[in-house]
Structures are given as structure tokens and as C-alpha cells.
Amino acid sequence: MATCFQPPRPSLEDDSIVLFSTSNSPDESTSQSSSCNHSPLQHHHHQNQTPYKLTVTNLSYTIQQTAWFVKKKPINILKSVSFTAKSSEILAIVGPSGTGKSSLLRIVSGRIRDKHFDPKSIALNDNAITSQLQLRKICGFVAQEDTLFPLLTVKETLMFSAKFRLKEMSPQERDNRVEALMQELGLVHVANSFVGDEENRGISGGERKRVAIGVDMIHDPPVLLLDEPTSGLDSSSALQVIELLASMARAKQRTIVLSIHQPSYRILQHINKFLILCRGSVVHNGSLESLELAITRLGLKIPPQINPLEFSMEIISTLQESYSKNHPSEVDRIVLNPSYPRLQLELANKQVANDPFLSRLSEITVLCLRFWKIIYRTKQLLLARTMQAIVGGLGLGSVYVKIRKDEGGVAERLGLFAFSLSFLLSSTVEALPIYLQERHVLMKEASRGAYRISSYLIANTIVFFPFLFIVAILFSVPLYWIVGLNPSASAFAFFTFMVWLIVLMASSLVLFLSVISPDFISGNSLISSVLGAFFLFSGYFIPKELIPKYWIFMYYVSLYRYPLDSLVINEYWSERNECFSRSMVDRVSECLLTGKDVLKSRGLDKDTRWINVGIMLAFFVFYRVLSWIILARKVSKTTL
């Protein structure tokens, strides 16, 4: 791939913009190919950005495994790792699989449990880091997996990230920042293309990786950490990503540390220093030239067909022995040296002074907009829920057309209500894949302080309220009037309201189960099991009096019981004195079954509809609060 440079050209609008565009890899079907890349044209700083030197000294990391409450032998992931990464340079962490490369990056980025964090091992500009929060504020971290929404465009993805991370900026400033970042990442030509994934066609793998980098660079961090940014890319796309990172390191004095697996010779030219690890220990720390010298001193010759780094992987055990002899573990700890950069670390602990109410309102508004875009573009969900509601209502209506008002009709009505409940509660499973997909993005964004978990849940509720209300109307209208249920307008309105509450309650349950489920298969099985248990103990199959005492609690927590009772009361309360079954005794018509008798047989002597509504709303809130507690706990422990 040829590279060409253009002469500098002054920037007219934003003096912090770095213009950068790259040619696309051959597999990038969504963009036009180009024969050359354009390196940065011009760069000026808004402010004099402080260069950051990242120093790691004697960093060790040990995990304690436990199996069946029995502690196993501790595993040493990292052993006395020391290195220095300077601004305007790229430091690459290299080594065989399982050597602790990813663990080292997560520690340096502040993404491990607090009990494992050693504040004496990491420093920025010779100032000791006292908490992981400081590292998360100053360091951008790009994980190996691209956690992005496939149905958002490139520009929308970066813009939403800017709205979350750059709340102190005006809308115009955020727009300028996103435009500048797309120029810097070479994404302008795909700005309006969907990100895509395995199921939805979108941008190429190299472009998707650059979007993932942009999401964690939106707040312009001085230190950028990347876990295998070239993983899964072809050689051309991998080279473009590394060229991009090298350009950003020089242009904005960024300190870049990345892990990489088997880099090509062309990629090596853009990396300043290499940290080679073997079984958690340092094998080499320095430039490619110093690695060649170390190999030569061992009396070995590098074959001409491979580069020094590849050869070092073949003799890594020999290099480890040599390095451990010539470089004993550091004994000096980081000494505090108060200076201007110290002020930068203190500022990293402070939040932007915004009004709490306006800040939360802004989070909820942006999240609602993003939720709506994703739901609107998820055609499968929209079509499935809409068709389920219409076909379900019409189908059930066609089965129970104009139910008779006799004893048989009473049983048919009860069966209709029970099946409708089962249908409505089970139909919410379609939202499980969306919740699971959102969970990964939520964990990453919330752990970076983009927004609060509570704001996410509130926005989720606001968006699903009208959507599920439309579903309730589409189901209720054909079913109610085809079947011929209670003809009063108030009874119909309450029936529709009850259907709405049922799907809202079910959506909360699915949200909660998606939070505790590791994947779709487990989540689907869990939902089926829980709903089956709730249906069994709803009082429809087994009367309350016959439920074993040790299972009676299921009767009270069943999501089926309260709406089922409410639907029966709604149907017969205004017809308590109406007769549904008569017999002739001595030529005298005698009523055998009234609406009051139907209610009494179900233990419904009082009109408890609104009490049941309150209980159903409580279930709706309870499962969301439970989801919030579990998500908050998971976010506090996440390493994303």
C-alpha cells in the first residue's frame, strides 16, 4: 500500500482539528477505494496539552481461584512488571497467548477490583495514582471486542458518546468535536452508514475498529490504552489502524499503549517500544533495535525471512533467563514530586459542576432518543410485536366468537382470560436479545461515567410505555368486541388498561431476567421456567386451598394471579345480579348461577381491581429496582 503526504494547509475553523483520512481495505464494500493515505495536515492545540508519562514499577497481579468453596493455589498473572510509556510514542505489549497482556492493560486502565489495585505501582508524570477513578478519567481504554450498536450510524454513535461524555460543551462544540474526530479517524465517507454486525450489513471491520477507538477518544484522553486493536482485521486494515494511532500519538502528544499479536514488519516501523512478556514476566523492554542487540549478545542470529519480534517468540525462554539476570526487580517505589501535572491528577477526581437535575434530564433525554432509534430500526421487534398483537387478538377472537351467557360461557371466559395472560406474558421474550445486546454497551458506558444506571432504566421505561400501550390496544380492540365481553365502555377501558399493565409487568420481568442471564439461551430457558411456575400457581389450575403450604408463597408472587382476578371482576362485577344458568322446577324458572356466584367461586367477594392494579404496578417497579441494584453492582465490578 503506497502512502503519500500532502503539504500543510492552515485550518480555518477549529485549530484543534487533525485532518486524517485513510484508504479502505479491499473488503470495505461501503466505501470507495483510494491509492494513498493522508497523514495529518495541520494541528494546533486549543491549549498546551500536558504530555503524560506513564510509569509502572514492580506491578504484580495474583488471582485466587475457588472451586466448590475450596481455595486453589494462587495464580500469578503478572510478576514485577516495570515499564515507562512516554507521550508521542506507541508502546506495544507483545507475548504468547496467556502471558497477561490484557490483564496488564486492564490494571493500568483502572478496571480491576479495588482489592487487587496497588496504588504504589502506577504513576503519571512521577505522581502516584491513588485510585482507579483517576486512571479511568485520564486513560481511554478500547477493549478487544467492539461493543457498539449495529443499528446506529457512525456519526450517531460518536455523537451519542459526545453527548454523554462532553456534557459541559455546547451542542455546536460537540458537533465540531465529532466532525473533527471523524476527520482524524478517516470516517467521514461512512459517517451516515450503519455500524452493522454479523447479522446487519454495515461498515468494514477496520472502520468498525476505528469507530470503537473514536468512542473512547471522544473526550480526548491524553493516555490511550488498546487491547489488541488489530485483532480480526486483515493486514491492510491492521496497518491502517496502527498508522492512525502513530499519527495521533505524534499530533496530540498522546501516550499510547497497546497489546498486539504477531504484528507485520510494516506495523513494527510505527511502534517505538516493545514490552515482551512471558508467563507474566518481562522478557524485553525497549526498541526493536535493542531487541536485535539483545538477541545478538546471546550468540544467536536472526533468520532473514522473519523479523526480530517473531524470532524472539521462538527463543522467548532464553530471553527471559537473560533479562532476569541483567534486570533485577526494581526496589524503588514512586516518589511524589508536586508539580503542574499534579494539578491535572487532582482535576481528574472532580466532576463537571452541572445542575444535578438538568444533568439527569439530559441523560434521560439522550437515552430516550437512542432507545427510540434502535427500536424503530429493529424491524423484527416492531413487526413481531405488532403482528403478535393483531394476530393474537383476531385469532383468539375467532375461537371465542360471541361467547354465550350461560354456564358453559362462564368457563370459556375464564379460559380466554387465562390463555390471553399466558400469551401476553410470553410474547415479551422477543425483547430479550435487545436487552442482552444493550447490556454490554450499558456496562461499558456506565463504568466510564457516561450516565447513571437509573437514568438508563427511566429512559427504557419512558420509551416502552407508549410502544406497549399501542400493543395493548391492537390486541384488545378486536378480541374484546369479537368475543362479546362486558359491553360497557368502562369495562372495555379497564380491560385495555389491564392488558397494558400485563405487558409492562412482563417487560420488567424480562429486563430483570436479562440482567442475571449470561446469554440468550439461558435467558430464554429462565423466562419459560419462571412464567410456567407463575402460571401453575395462579389459582387457575390449582385452587388456593389445595396448594401445598410450602408453595403458597408462589400464589402471592405469581404475575398471573392479580390480572386474572381483575379480568374476572371486570367482566362480572357490573353483572352480579344477572343470571347465567336457569332450570325449570315445577314450571318455575329458577336461577342456578349469577355473576355473584361466579365471583364467589373464585373467592372474589369484593371489588379488588384497583388494589390489584397497585400490586401489578408494584411488581413493575420492583423488578426494575432489582435490575438497577444488580446492574449497579455489576458495573462497579466490570472490566470493560
Which of 85-89, 151-155, 601-605 has the least mean pLDDT? 601-605
Domain range holding 628? 362-637
Whether the pLDDT of residue 394 is over 90: the answer is yes
**What is the structure's pLDDT at 590?**
77
**What is the structure's pLDDT at 581?**
77
Whether the pLDDT of residue 2 is over 90: the answer is no
Q: Report yes or no on 325 lying in a domain.
A: yes
Q: Which CATH number goes with the domain that contains 213?
A: 3.40.50.300
Q: State whether 427 and 336 are in the same domain.
A: no
CA distance linking residue 424 with residue 420, whole number of Å: 6
The residue from 348, 379, 410 where one domain ends is 348
Residue that wins the pLDDT comparison between 113 and 214: 214
| Per-residue model confidence as pLDDT tens digits over 456-477 | 999 999 998 998 999 999 999 9
Residues of the chain with pLDDT > 90, as a percent, come to 31
pLDDT band with cut points at 50, 70 and 90 for residue 45? very low
Q: Report yes or no on 21 lying in a domain.
A: no
| Per-residue model confidence as pLDDT tens digits over 47-73 | 446 788 899 999 988 887 766 666 677
Q: State whether 162 and 305 are in the same domain.
A: yes
Q: Report yes or no on 558 lying in a domain.
A: yes
CA distance linking residue 362 with residue 575, whole number of Å: 50
**What is the structure's pLDDT at 623?**
94
Q: What integer is the mean pLDDT of 434-438?
A: 82
Q: State whether 329 and 380 are in the same domain.
A: no
Q: State whether 339 and 386 are in the same domain.
A: no
Q: What integer is the mean pLDDT of 260-270?
A: 87
Residue that wins the pLDDT comparison between 586 and 491: 491
pLDDT band with cut points at 50, 70 and 90 for residue 31? very low
**What is the structure's pLDDT at 587?**
66
Which of 62-66, 544-548, 553-557 has the least mean pLDDT? 62-66
Structural domains of the chain, count: 2
Q: State whether 275 and 387 are in the same domain.
A: no
**What is the structure's pLDDT at 473?**
94
Whether the pLDDT of residue 347 is over 60: the answer is no
Which of 51-60, 91-100, 327-336, 622-631 has the least mean pLDDT? 327-336
Which of 98-102, 335-339, 437-441, 571-575 has the least mean pLDDT? 335-339
**What is the structure's pLDDT at 317?**
85
Q: Report yes or no on 195 lying in a domain.
A: yes
Which of 319-323, 504-508, 586-590, 628-632 has the least mean pLDDT? 586-590
Helix pair angle (432-447, 356-377), 10° resolution: 150
CA distance linking residue 26 with residue 234, whole number of Å: 9
Q: State whether 334 and 423 are in the same domain.
A: no
Q: State whether 154 and 184 are in the same domain.
A: yes
Whether the pLDDT of residue 194 is over 90: the answer is yes
Q: State whether 64 and 203 are in the same domain.
A: yes
Give me the chain's average pLDDT, please: 82
Q: What integer is the mean pLDDT of 128-149?
A: 86
Q: State whether 512 and 593 are in the same domain.
A: yes
Residue that wins the pLDDT comparison between 640 and 318: 318
| Nine cell digits for residue 463 | 420509551
Q: Report yes or no on 31 lying in a domain.
A: no
* 3 state SS for 271-291: CCEEEEEECCEEEEEECHHHH
Cβ atoms within 10 Å of 195's Cβ, excluding its own:
22
Residue type, 579: C
User: 125 phi and psi, to 5 degrees?
Assistant: 50, 40
Q: State whether 459 and 607 are in the same domain.
A: yes
The residue from 313, 348, 383 where one domain ends is 348
Residues of the chain with pLDDT > 70, as a percent, come to 86
Whether the pLDDT of residue 563 is over 70: the answer is yes
**What is the structure's pLDDT at 349?**
47
Q: Report yes or no on 311 lying in a domain.
A: yes
**What is the structure's pLDDT at 242?**
92
| Per-residue model confidence as pLDDT tens digits over 403-431 | 888 788 888 888 899 899 988 888 877 77
Q: Report yes or no on 30 lying in a domain.
A: no
Whether the pLDDT of residue 345 is over 60: the answer is no
pLDDT band with cut points at 50, 70 and 90 for residue 448? confident
Whether the pLDDT of residue 338 is over 50: the answer is no
Q: State whether 533 and 395 are in the same domain.
A: yes
The residue from 299, 322, 348 where one domain ends is 348
pLDDT band with cut points at 50, 70 and 90 for residue 199? confident
Whether the pLDDT of residue 15 is over 60: the answer is no
- Which residue matches cell numbers 493515505? 37
CB-based contact 591:579 (threshold 8 Å): yes
Spacing of C-alpha 460 from chain mean position? 14
| Per-residue model confidence as pLDDT tens digits over 495-542 | 999 999 999 999 999 999 999 988 888 888 898 899 889 988 888 888
- Which residue matches cell numbers 454486525? 197
User: 306 phi and psi, to 5 degrees?
Assistant: -130, 160
Q: Report yes or no on 71 lying in a domain.
A: yes
pLDDT band with cut points at 50, 70 and 90 for residue 355? low
CA distance linking residue 243 with residue 216, whole number of Å: 18
Q: State whether 302 and 393 are in the same domain.
A: no
Whether the pLDDT of residue 32 is over 50: the answer is no
**What is the structure's pLDDT at 68?**
64
**What is the structure's pLDDT at 336?**
45
CB-based contact 90:278 (threshold 8 Å): no
**What is the structure's pLDDT at 557?**
92
**What is the structure's pLDDT at 584?**
65
**What is the structure's pLDDT at 554?**
92
| Per-residue model confidence as pLDDT tens digits over 282-299 | 999 999 999 998 888 888
- Which residue matches cell numbers 450498536? 149
